[in-house]
Chain A
Amino acid sequence: MSQSPEVKKGQVETTGHVWDGDLREYNNPLPRWWLWAFYGTIVFAVVYWILYPAWPYAGTYTKGVETVSFTVKEANGQEKTVTEHWNSRALFNKDMESSPSALAQKEWLGKVKDMSFEQIAANPDTLNFARSMGHALFGDHCAACHGTGGQGVLSMNLEASYPNLTDDAWIHGSSYEKIVQDITNGIHGNMPAFGALFQGEKRADLAQYVLSLSHQQGVNEEAANRGKALFATCAGCHGATGTGNQMIGAPNLTDQAWDFVDISGAKDYDEKVKLIEGVIANGMNHQMPKFGDRLSPEQIRLLAVYVRQLGGS
């Protein structure tokens, strides 16, 4: 590459570089539209610096002249309007209170606020609202254990079983108030282990009796009769007739709804006995987390309506 002094007149200006003796590089001016667009971006940047947070200095930064206003509820319950420089968190607060979907939801929440559970469930519109809110909340917070449809998980592994919410058997009670309470505070379901108390024959007899309560095919009546006497120990929680106690979350043993032991999935009667014996021997320990910190009281109310109607009540 060499510099050439000869630029021929009447032709487009070249950079003056010449390669291989005759290759020259044109020096066309930048298109005017391009230049103006470029100057425009510079002006845009300056305007942006003025409007929005931009330049850092001395431990802080220029905050810009744009502002965002939103309402906050103070500790004493008073509402007050706060105006903050433009920033994503202030925009978020504003969005939470006044985006179209937030307003629509608020309107409906206002409607159901003073309604009783029964009133919400009786009115098709509010029931629909509770269903759509409940469905979303259930998907986020409950479905991981109780299944997307509320069908629960029933597995041969007791530790990995979670109650079915779609049947009409309620371990802890089906009143709206009780469901709200259980969602809010969580549940600790605990059955002590009776492995030391009931061993060998005794345990088998008791298991036979438990299965006879729900009229399982293949019960050994003789063994079940022997087990009946032992059931007195269980009656404290499960009731003298085995119908359970919702106050303390002791399941009803007389119905066909099995929430923790996969009796219906057992391949034969012997396996059913084994499963029940396992529960008697090892007890059961189930924990449902509390959602009172995670969900608002209004959300929990709607969720209770949703959960209860899953069970067909």
Chain B
Amino acid sequence: MKHESIEINSALLIVLTLVVISIGGLVEIVPLFHIKGTVEQVDGVHPYTPLEQLGRDIYVREGCYLCHSQMIRPFRDEMLRYGHYSLAAESQYDHPFQWGSKRTGPDLARVGGKYSNEWMTQHLIHPQSLVPESIMPSYPWLMQPLHYGDIEARMRALRDVGVPYSLTQAEYEANVKKFGKDLADQFVIANGVESVKKEAASQNWDGNPKEITQMDALVAYLQVLGTMVDFSKYDQGYFSHFR
């Protein structure tokens, strides 16, 4: 084929341009799916419980990711401020992941346990009441009731993309083996609504024990971020094997 025929046929030019560009992308991305060790072998990472998952959906709904990343990079200054750098394994059940490099607010990859539930709640309702210099907007409507009737559909959708929420007895047993009975029980899709109620009642998430609010879910999610892996079990050299 003469080059001239490509240059004078814009449709063909577009198609061939896309082919050439996608080769570049595929060469960079596809091998990662085949290289063992892209996702590190590490204990403790598990899917979100139904309440945490609903909190995560609120996190995405409110666009928290527009200002907050969840990816601590392997730099000394980030380690000193935020803690251990993020592992690929830690976001293996995230759909979509919340990595990023634009930080208007601080990184949240390891925010779990850093603040008390009451701080989280008050801070989300009105950040400046606690941190006067903050530029974060207020989210007072999070104290409204949480709609969790569709949790089972949400879990089923996540199961379709690979999150091991269980539909069958065999899947449940595999989860018991992998994550322990407590968590496996919460990953049973058919019990989704019950699990949400139970976890919401298990702790004083937002200071309002009377109803299950969106705040309950969001605080539960924030408090689990970055807490799943016990880094004291691994020496500093372990994770560099995987890169």
Contact = CB atoms under 8 A, between A and B. Distances in A.
Nearest to A140: B81
A148 B133 contact: yes
Given A87-B243, A88-B243, A286 B129 contact: no
A82 B240 CA distance: 10
Contacts, number: 102
A72 B80 CA distance: 18
B74 A144 contact: no
Contacts of A157: 122, 129
A102 B239 contact: no
Interface stretch (B28-36, B157-165, B191-199): B28-36
Given A56-B31, A61-B31, A84-B241, A294 B114 contact: yes
B76 interface: yes
B235 interface: yes
A44 B9 CA distance: 36
Interface stretch (A32-40, A93-101, A123-131, A166-174): A93-101
Interface in A152-189: 153, 155, 157, 159-160, 162
Interface in B121-144: 121-123, 129-131, 133
Contacts of A288: 116
Interface string A57-91: 00111000000001011110000001010011111
Classify chain B: how many residues form its interface, as a range: 35 or more
Given A56-B35, A60-B36, A92-B85, A145 B130 contact: yes
B113 interface: yes
B130 A93 contact: no
Contacts of A222: none
A289 B236 contact: no
Nearest to B81: A140
A293 interface: yes
Contacts of B204: 285
Contacts of A92: 74-76, 79, 85, 240
B62 interface: no
B117 interface: yes
B35 A82 contact: no
Nearest to B31: A56
A153 B114 CA distance: 17
Given A88-B74, A96-B76, A289-B114, A144 B83 contact: no
Contacts of B207: 159
A180 B73 CA distance: 29
Nearest to B77: A101
A153 B130 contact: yes
Contacts of B74: 88-89, 91-92
Contact of B115 (A88, A89, A91, A145): A145
A141 interface: yes
24 contacts: A56-B31, A59-B34, A60-B35, A70-B236, A72-B237, A84-B241, A87-B240, A89-B74, A89-B240, A91-B74, A92-B85, A95-B75, A96-B236, A144-B130, A145-B116, A148-B133, A159-B207, A160-B122, A160-B129, A160-B130, A287-B116, A288-B116, A289-B113, A294-B114
User: Top 8 closest A-B pairs, CB basis?
Assistant: A56-B31, A92-B74, A89-B240, A87-B243, A72-B237, A287-B116, A90-B240, A160-B122
Given A289-B114, A289-B115, 19 more contacts: A60-B37, A72-B235, A74-B235, A84-B237, A84-B240, A87-B243, A92-B75, A92-B76, A96-B236, A101-B76, A136-B80, A143-B131, A145-B115, A159-B122, A159-B207, A286-B116, A286-B118, A289-B116, A294-B83
Interface of A: 56, 59-61, 70, 72-75, 82, 84, 87-93, 95-96, 99, 101-102, 136, 140-141, 143-145, 148, 153, 155, 157, 159-160, 162, 285-290, 293-294
